[in-house]
Amino acid sequence: MIRILFLRFALAICVLDVGKACFAQSGFAGLGDAGDGYEKVSANRKFSFPVDHGAHPNYRIEWWYLTANLTDTNGTPIGLQWTLFRNALRPPSDDAVNTEQDNEQFTNKQTSAGWQNSQFWMANAAITTVDQHLYKEKFGRGGIGQAGVTLNPFNAWLDDWTMVGKEGSGLELAVLEANGANFSYELEIKANGPFVPQGENGYSIKSPYGQASYYYSQPFYQAKGRLIIHGKVHDVIGTAWLDREWSSQPLAADQTGWDWFSLNLNSGEKLMLFRLRTKGIDRKSKNKGSSGEPGDKSALADTPKEFTSGTWISADGSPENLQGRTILFSPKTYEKIAGRDIPVAWRVSIPSKGLDIDTVPLNAKAYMETVFPYWEGPIRFSGTHHGQGYLEMTGY
Amino acid sequence: MQLDNQLLILFFTLASHWRQKPLQLATMIVGLAAATALFSGVQALNEEARASYAEASDILGANQFSSIVAKDRQTFPQEKYIDLRRRGLPVTPVIHGSVKIDGISINLMGIDIVTLPQSNAPVTLMPDPSQGSDNATNQFDLVKFITPPWQAAASPVLIDRLRISPDTTIDAQDHGSLPPLFPLKTVPPQTIILDIGAAQSILEMAGVVSELFYVGDHMSPQHRKTIISLGFDILDPGQENDIEQLTSSFHLNLAAFGFLSFLVGLLIVHAAAGLAFEQRRPIFRTLMACGINRSTLMFSLTLEVMIIAIVAGTIGIFLGYIIAASLLPDVSKTLQGLYGAVVADTLVARPLWLLLGLGMSIAGAFIASARFVFQLHGLPILKTAYPEAWRAKQSQSLRWQSIGAGLFLILLVISNIVGSGLLKGFVMMGCLLCAAALLLPACLTGMLALASRFFSKTVLLEWFFADTRQQLSGLSLALQALLLALAVNIGVGTMVGSFRTTFTSWLDQRLAAELYVNPGDNVSYREIENWLSRKKGVKAVLPAAFKEARSGGLPLSIFAFTPNSIYRDHWPLLDKSPDAWDRLKSTENVLINEQFARRENVWAGDSVAVTLADGEKTAQIVGVYSDYGNTKAEIMVPLSTLTAWYPATEASLFVVRADPSLVSELVNDLKNTFSLNDKQLIDQQALKSFSVAVFEQTFLITNALNVLTLIIAGIALFTSLLSLATARLPQLAPLWAVGVPRAILSRFELARALVLALMTSVLALPLGISIAWMLTAIVNVEAFGWKLPIIIFPGDLFTLMVLAAGTAFASAFVPALQLRRTSNAQLLRLFAQEK
pLDDT, tens digit, 9 for 90 and up, residues B547-593: 878 777 677 888 888 888 888 888 878 888 888 899 998 888 999 98
Nearest CB to B118 within list A19, A140, A146: A19
Distant-in-sequence, close-in-space partners of B181: CB < 8 Å, separation ≥ 6: B151, B152, B153, B154, B158, B159, B162, B164, B166, B170, B192
Residue B679 — very low, low, confident or very high, per pLDDT cuts 50/70/90? Answer: low
Q: What is the DSSP letter of B775?
A: I
Return the amino acid letter for B834. Answer: E
**pLDDT of B615:** 74
Mean pLDDT computed over B642-671: 83
- Measured CA distances, B431 to A64, B425, B442, B544 (Å): 75, 10, 18, 48
Which of B84, B85, B151 is the best mutation test for A, with the most CBs of A within 10 A? B85
CB A115 to CB B124 under 8 A? Answer: no
Residue A299 — very low, low, confident or very high, per pLDDT cuts 50/70/90? Answer: very low
CB A25 to CB B206 under 8 A? Answer: no
> CB burial class (10 A; 0-12, 13-18, 19+) of residue B105?
exposed
H helix or E strand, kind and range, residue B830: helix B824-832
A372 with A346: CB under 8 angstroms? no
Residues of A in Cβ contact (< 8 Å) with B200: 114-115
B91 with B213: CB under 8 angstroms? yes
A221 with A192: CB under 8 angstroms? yes
Nearest CB to A89 within list B147, B187, B241: B147
Grouping H, G, I as helix, E, B as strand and the rest as coil, residue B214 is: strand
Residues of A in Cβ contact (< 8 Å) with B631: 4, 7
**pLDDT of B634:** 86
Query: Which residue of chain B comes nearest to A87, CA vs CA?
Result: B143
**pLDDT of A188:** 97
Q: Is the pLDDT of residue A40 over 60?
A: yes
**How far is the alpha carbon of A155 from chain B, nearest alpha carbon, in Å?**
13
Q: Is the pLDDT of residue B722 over 80?
A: no
> Which is more confident, B67 or B628?
B67
CB A7 to CB B629 under 8 A? Answer: yes
Start-to-end CA distance of chain A, whole Å, equals 60
Which of A3, A4, A6, A14 is the best mutation test for B, with the most CBs of B within 10 A? A14
User: Which residue in B372, B394, B388 sits closest to B441, CA to CA?
Assistant: B394
Lowest-pLDDT range, A170-174, B181-185, B317-321, B733-737? B181-185
User: Which residue in A178, A241, A190, A214 sits closest to A51, CA to CA?
Assistant: A214
Query: Which residue of chain A comes nearest to B184, CA vs CA?
Result: A14
**How far is the alpha carbon of B589 from chain A, nearest alpha carbon, in Å?**
20
How far is it, in rounded angstroms, from Cα B624 to Cα B574?
A: 6
**How far is the alpha carbon of A107 from chain B, nearest alpha carbon, in Å?**
15
CB B342 to CB A2 under 8 A? Answer: no
Query: Which residue of chain A comes nearest to B546, CA vs CA?
Result: A1
Grouping H, G, I as helix, E, B as strand and the rest as coil, residue A217 is: strand
H helix or E strand, kind and range, residue B56: helix B22-58
**How far is the alpha carbon of B60 from chain A, nearest alpha carbon, in Å?**
4
Parallel, antiparallel, or unpaired: how do β-strands A374-383 and A387-394 relate? antiparallel
CB A5 to CB B124 under 8 A? Answer: no
CB A140 to CB B114 under 8 A? Answer: yes
| A and B: number of Cβ contacts within 8 A | 169
CB atoms closer than 10 angstroms to residue B605: 11
pLDDT, tens digit, 9 for 90 and up, residues B532-552: 888 888 888 888 888 878 777
Mean pLDDT computed over B423-434: 82
**pLDDT winner (highest mean) among A367-376, B39-48, B122-131, B684-693:** A367-376
**How far is the alpha carbon of B30 from chain A, nearest alpha carbon, in Å?**
41
How far is it, in rounded angstroms, from Cα B312 to Cα A40?
A: 75
Which of A1, A20, A87, A138 is the best mutation test for B, with the most CBs of B within 10 A? A1
Tell me the residues of chain A between 84 and 103 that have a Cβ less than 8 Å away from chain B. Answer: 89-90, 94
Nearest CB to B341 within list A10, A13, A160: A10
Mean pLDDT across chain B, nearest whole number? 78
> Which is more confident, A34 or B662?
B662
How far is it, in rounded angstroms, from Cα A342 to Cα A277?
A: 14
**pLDDT of B35:** 80
Peptide bond into B380 cis (omega under 30): no
Mean pLDDT computed over B340-364: 73
Angle separating helix axes B243-289 and B684-737, nearest 10 degrees: 20
Instruction: Name the CA radius of gyration of chain B, rounded.
Output: 33
> Which is more confident, B734 or A215?
A215
Q: Is the pLDDT of residue B343 over 80?
A: no
**pLDDT of B150:** 86
How crowded is the C-beta side of B784, counted as CA atoms within 13 Å? 19
Query: Which residue of chain B comes nearest to A369, CA vs CA?
Result: B119
CB B114 to CB A22 under 8 A? Answer: yes
> Which is more confident, B714 or B761?
B761
CB B122 to CB A157 under 8 A? Answer: no
Residues across chain B:
835
CB B85 to CB A159 under 8 A? Answer: yes
Please give the full DSSP string across A299-328, using - where no structure is assigned.
HHHT--SEEEEEEEE-TTS-EEE-TTS--E
**How far is the alpha carbon of B147 from chain A, nearest alpha carbon, in Å?**
6
**pLDDT of B315:** 92
CB B193 to CB A10 under 8 A? Answer: no
Nearest CB to B121 within list A9, A12, A16: A16
**How far is the alpha carbon of B769 from chain A, nearest alpha carbon, in Å?**
29
Mean pLDDT computed over A121-143: 93
Residues of B in Cβ contact (< 8 Å) with A21: 142
Mean pLDDT computed over B499-527: 75
A89 with B146: CB under 8 angstroms? yes
Distance, C-alpha B40 to centroid of its chain = 15
Residues of A in Cβ contact (< 8 Å) with B74: none
**How far is the alpha carbon of B376 from chain A, nearest alpha carbon, in Å?**
58
Nearest CB to A12 within list B60, B339, B627: B60
H helix or E strand, kind and range, residue B371: helix B351-375
Q: Is the pLDDT of residue B132 over 50?
A: no
Q: Is the pLDDT of residue B447 over 70?
A: yes
Q: Is the pLDDT of residue B1 over 60?
A: no
Q: Is the pLDDT of residue A89 over 70?
A: yes
Q: Is A111 on the interface with B (CB under 8 A)?
A: no
Residues of B in Cβ contact (< 8 Å) with A4: 627, 629-632, 634
What ipTM does the predicted assembly reach?
A: 0.85
Query: Which residue of chain B comes nearest to A140, CA vs CA?
Result: B114
Query: Which residue of chain B comes nearest to A141, CA vs CA?
Result: B114
**pLDDT of A104:** 40
Q: What backbone torsions phi and psi does residue B806 show, to the nearest 5 degrees?
A: -60, -45
pLDDT, tens digit, 9 for 90 and up, residues B449-470: 888 888 878 888 888 888 888 8
**pLDDT of B84:** 95
Across-strand partners of A125?
A82, A136
A97 with A108: CB under 8 angstroms? no
